[in-house]
């Protein structure tokens, strides 16, 4: 059933208007978690990094794991909405904005973990004023800055038409400052053919750019590990492996968000089972690739007789057995089973599968960063437990939950600012000739 823009506006307007009690409750909980994280950060600044679990061998712990994890989530929007935009698929429309929002918000949260991990965050600006371009971290700094600007541009481009519609919708019951904001941000967009053409061209350009940049940025992040000599990190597969795992995790998060927004904003009409299944198939394919890359990486490490690889694999199977199983077996097999069989493809089941994906990918990141550092070339001969085995402390966990809570807060605020289902996309005239999928 084709709905007009006005119908959609009428339906979605309440989302932007006054928040419900439920909204405030969830918001409140998230704010409390955030404040707890701030307390942890102040504690860490006061007493030094000794309050974390990191020591001289495992110098990168949960902070870096979270950094990689959140950066990975951002490729959901980048690659999915970018690719789907270029392929002009029809079913992408209700979920595009969610994807793009995930991208930008994760990109803003991820690098914050660097601030927590670095010993002297008061000198972070040295990365800009004294850069050494031979260092993979400098490549990462440049890449992330480029990525943030690019994704913000891409997101903003998708907002403009909706801002224009909201500006023109007389019955919108929102405070004046919000109305003024819509007017300003709509950039005088009136829907003239010339403006439409400019916007369309810009979107096409940015969609292509965003895909390219996402791949480059995440590969650079992978190469921070790949260029070192550490056993477990010095792997040629890391570039593509990280990119695939990132998109896999982002897709999982997208499904979860689809489920939540569908529930809270009653969007059953727009986000149907078909959407879940289609994104689910994407999840299936990505999961297969992820499993393949993981298997390939570990098989070659295990089969060859290099001692350091053997020590690493032994450590993984002895000390990290359950994490390994969750990350590399359950995280691959369960979503694939759910999506592989028609019988299991219900909305709830697919969402559970996506949730398992997310958890297992966090552990995958953890298993990449930490066990390698616990098996250096020269064996750790020490009597202090904290120096031998890494265990995250409450400070690191508090900042992790703070990161998650900030993500939720920003998603909630975004949904209050602009309809989560893009009205302009939904009512866009269908270009039937150029559909690819």
Partner 1 sequence: MKNDESKNTRRRFLKLGIGAGAASLAGFAGAKMGASENNTEEKSGIKETIKVLTPDGKLVEVEKTSILPAKDVFIDRIKAQEGIAGRKFVMVIDLAKCKNARKCIDACQEGHKLPTDHEWMKLYLLKDSDATAPYWFPKPCYHCDNPLCVSVCPVGATYKRSDGIVLVDTERCIGCKFCMTGCPYSARVFHWKKPDVVVDENTPYSPETNIPPKEGTVGKCVFCPDKLRNNELPRCATACPMGVIYFGDMLEDSVTNGTETVRFSELLRDRGGYRYKEELGTEPSVYYLPPTQRQFPWERGYESLPDSIKSRYENIDVIKETFPKDNNPA
Partner 2 sequence: MRKKLSLLPTITIIFLLSAFNSNAQDSIAEKKAPDLTFVFKKIGEKGFELKARLSLFENRIDFPISGEKIKFILGSDSIITIDGNITDKDGYAIAFINPGVKLPKNQEGIIVGRADFEGNMLYEPVQAEVSFIETKISLEFLLVDTIKTVKVTASKINKDDTESPLTGETVTISIQRMFSRLPISDVTIGDDGTATAEFPLKIPGDSLGNVDVVAFIAENEIYGNSESSDTIKWGIPKQEVLITHRALWTQIAPMWMIVSLTILLIGVWAHYLYVIIQLILVRNKNKQLKLE
User: Is residue 82 a contact point for partner 2 (CB under 8 A)?
Assistant: no
| Least distance CB 216 / partner 2 (angstroms) | 8
Tokens coding 30: 């998230």
For partner 2, which residue of 24, 47, 48, 192 counts as binding (CB under 8 A)? Answer: 192
User: Is residue 148 a contact point for partner 2 (CB under 8 A)?
Assistant: no
Of 220, 204, 261, 218, whose CA–CA distance to 74 is shortest?
218
Q: Is 437 helix (H, G, I), strand (E, B) or coil?
A: coil
Q: Which stretch binds partner 2 (CB under 8 A): 49-57, 204-212, 305-313, 393-401?
A: 204-212
Q: Which is nearer to partner 1, 54 or 421 (CB)?
A: 54
Q: Which is nearer to partner 2, 202 or 278 (CB)?
A: 202
For partner 2, which residue of 108, 142, 174, 410 counts as binding (CB under 8 A)? Answer: 142
Share of the chain residues as helix, strand and coil, in percent rounded to the nearest 5: 75, 0, 25
Element (H, E) at 302: helix 273-303
**123: partner contacted, choices partner 1, partner 2, none (Cβ within 5-8 A by kind):** partner 1
For partner 2, which residue of 35, 38, 149, 299 counts as binding (CB under 8 A)? Answer: 149
Cα separations in angstroms, 311 against 59, 207, 374: 19, 44, 10
Treating both helix axes as pointing N-terminal to C-terminal, what angle do 96-109 and 238-264 enclose, rounded to 10 degrees? 120
**Long-range contacts of the stretch 134-139 (C-beta < 8 A, 24+):** 136/220, 136/223, 136/224, 136/227, 137/224, 139/220, 139/223
| Least distance CB 394 / partner 1 (angstroms) | 17
User: Is residue 383 a contact point for partner 2 (CB under 8 A)?
Assistant: no
| Least distance CB 64 / partner 1 (angstroms) | 9
40 vs 113: CA distance, rounded Å: 13
**26: partner contacted, choices partner 1, partner 2, none (Cβ within 5-8 A by kind):** none
User: Is residue 183 a contact point for partner 2 (CB under 8 A)?
Assistant: no
**Residues 84 and 92: beta-carbon distance below 8 Å:** yes
Q: Which is nearer to partner 1, 19 or 376 (CB)?
A: 376
Treating both helix axes as pointing N-terminal to C-terminal, what angle do 62-73 and 347-374 enclose, rounded to 10 degrees? 140
**172: partner contacted, choices partner 2, partner 1, none (Cβ within 5-8 A by kind):** none
| Least distance CB 188 / partner 2 (angstroms) | 4
User: Is residue 209 a contact point for partner 2 (CB under 8 A)?
Assistant: yes
Binding site for partner 1 (CB under 8 A): 47-50, 54-57, 59-60, 114, 117-121, 123-124, 126-127, 130-132, 134-138, 141, 224, 227-230, 233, 373, 376-384
Cα end-to-end span (Å), the chain: 21
Q: Which is nearer to partner 2, 87 or 149 (CB)?
A: 149
Hunting for tokens 């032994």 — which residue is that? 314
**157: partner contacted, choices partner 1, partner 2, none (Cβ within 5-8 A by kind):** partner 2
User: Is residue 75 a contact point for partner 2 (CB under 8 A)?
Assistant: no
| Least distance CB 150 / partner 2 (angstroms) | 7
Neighbours of 13 (CB within 10 A): 16
Q: Which is nearer to partner 2, 150 or 239 (CB)?
A: 150
Q: Which is nearer to partner 2, 50 or 227 (CB)?
A: 227
Q: Which stretch binds partner 2 (CB under 8 A): 10-18, 146-154, 394-402, 420-428?
A: 146-154
| Least distance CB 167 / partner 1 (angstroms) | 44
**50: partner contacted, choices partner 2, partner 1, none (Cβ within 5-8 A by kind):** partner 1
User: Is residue 228 a contact point for partner 2 (CB under 8 A)?
Assistant: no
Residue-by-residue DSSP string for 47-78: H-GGGSS--SS--S-HHHHHHHHHHHHTHIII
**Residues 143 and 212: beta-carbon distance below 8 Å:** no
Q: List, in sequence order, the alpha helices (H) in 78-135.
A: 82-86, 96-109, 112-117, 126-129
**381: partner contacted, choices partner 1, partner 2, none (Cβ within 5-8 A by kind):** partner 1
User: Is residue 281 a contact point for partner 2 (CB under 8 A)?
Assistant: no
How many residues of this chain bind partner 2 (CB under 8 A)?
A: 26
**Residues 423 and 9: beta-carbon distance below 8 Å:** yes
Q: What is the dihedral of CA 419, 421, 427, 428, to 10 degrees?
A: 110
Cα separations in angstroms, 414 against 26, 72, 141, 408: 15, 20, 26, 10
Residues that bind partner 2 (CB under 8 A): 132-134, 142, 146, 149-150, 153, 157, 160, 187-190, 192, 194-195, 198-199, 201-202, 205-206, 209, 212-213
């Amino acid at each position: 059933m084709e709905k007009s823009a006005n119908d959609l506006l009428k339906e979605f307007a309440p989302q932007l208007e006054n928040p419900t009690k439920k909204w405030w409750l969830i918001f409140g909980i998230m704010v409390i978690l955030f404040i707890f994280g701030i307390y942890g950060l102040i504690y860490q600044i006061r007493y030094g990094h000794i309050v974390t679990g990191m020591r001289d061998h495992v110098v990168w712990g949960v902070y870096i794991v979270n950094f990689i994890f959140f950066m990975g989530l951002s490729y959901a929007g980048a690659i999915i909405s970018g690719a789907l935009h270029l392929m002009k698929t029809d079913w992408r429309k209700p979920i595009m904005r969610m994807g793009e929002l995930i991208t930008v918000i994760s990109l803003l949260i991820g690098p914050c973990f660097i601030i927590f991990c670095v010993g002297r965050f008061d000198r972070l600006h040295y990365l800009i004023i004294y850069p050494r371009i031979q260092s993979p971290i400098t490549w990462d700094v440049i890449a992330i800055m480029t990525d943030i600007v690019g994704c913000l541009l891409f997101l903003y481009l998708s907002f403009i038409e909706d801002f224009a519609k909201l500006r023109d919708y007389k019955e919108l019951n929102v405070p004046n400052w919000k109305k003024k904001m819509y007017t300003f941000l709509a950039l005088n967009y009136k829907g003239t053919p010339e403006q439409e053409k400019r916007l369309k061209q810009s979107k096409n350009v940015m969609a292509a750019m965003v895909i390219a940049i996402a791949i480059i940025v995440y590969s650079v992040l992978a190469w921070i590990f790949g260029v070192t000599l550490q056993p477990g990190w010095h792997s040629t597969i890391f570039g593509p492996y990280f990119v695939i795992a990132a998109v896999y995790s982002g897709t999982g998060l997208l499904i979860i968000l689809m489920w939540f927004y569908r529930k809270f904003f009653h969007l059953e009409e727009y986000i149907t089972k078909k959407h879940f299944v289609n994104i689910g198939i994407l999840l299936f394919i990505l999961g297969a690739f992820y499993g393949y890359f993981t298997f390939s990486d570990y098989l070659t490490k295990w089969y060859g007789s290099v001692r350091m690889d053997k020590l690493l694999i032994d450590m993984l199977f002895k000390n990290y057995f359950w994490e390994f199983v969750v990350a590399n077996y359950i995280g691959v097999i369960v979503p694939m089973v759910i999506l592989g069989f028609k019988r299991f493809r219900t909305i709830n089941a697919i969402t559970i599968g996506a949730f398992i994906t997310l958890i297992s990918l966090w552990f995958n990141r953890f298993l990449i960063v930490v066990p390698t550092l616990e098996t250096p070339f020269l064996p750790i001969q020490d009597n202090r437990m904290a120096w031998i085995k890494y265990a995250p402390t409450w400070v690191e966990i508090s900042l992790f939950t703070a990161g998650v809570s900030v993500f939720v807060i920003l998603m909630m605020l975004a949904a209050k600012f602009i309809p989560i289902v893009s009205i302009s996309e939904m009512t866009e005239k269908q270009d039937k000739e150029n559909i690819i999928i």
